[in-house]
Amino acid sequence: MIERKTYIPFRENKALHSIDYLKGIIEDASVTTLQRIHNISTEELHWQYADNWNTIGALLSHIISCRRFFRIYFIEGKELNEAEKTLIMPGLEMGKHIPDLITGAPVEVYLKELATTKAEVLKSLDTLSMDQFHEKREGYNPKTGHNLAWTIYHLAEDEVHHRGQISLIRKLYKNIVQDKQ
């Protein structure tokens, strides 16, 4: 099983420590998500407690889509093109897209995408200047705006929130499905 890194390395350039810190948070959020889905079956991955409920696979799709969206829109500062919208928006929005997110794909598909999107986010963070990282941006809070430091924290926070849902769904699955088998 993958282990958590309980030591966040910092570069010699102290100005970059805040970026390194958030990269450590993203790394840890990712590892603990992987721990929660360790040894998950395809059936459990796509099991739905009730109509319109999230599945673990749908939640993983959401985490993957959030990483892609945050990297492109917030870190790289680009609008999504049509191909990116088609790829990202169902997992980002979920809701009406839940039926399409129940794909029956094995966990390996999600693991590959989780690894790819995490690596892309971490790599893109290394391209930032401290001015870009701290500059005030419009949105999120109409009074104060936000900065990329908060936005990246929010990306990790979102994953942690959905990891809690994953844990709950796994418990429901065990109590409802596995105990009846």
- Residue 14 or residue 111, greater confidence: 111
Name the CATH superfamily for 41-180. dinb family like domain (1.20.120.450)
Q: How far apart (Å, rounded) are the C-alpha atoms in residues 158 and 140? A: 14
- Residue 145 or residue 67, greater confidence: 67
pLDDT at 58: 98
- Residue 24 or residue 6, greater confidence: 24
Long-range contact pairs involving 130-138 (C-beta distance under 8 Å, separation at least 24)? 130/15, 130/16, 130/19, 133/18, 133/19
Q: What percent of the chain is predicted at pLDDT more than 70? A: 92
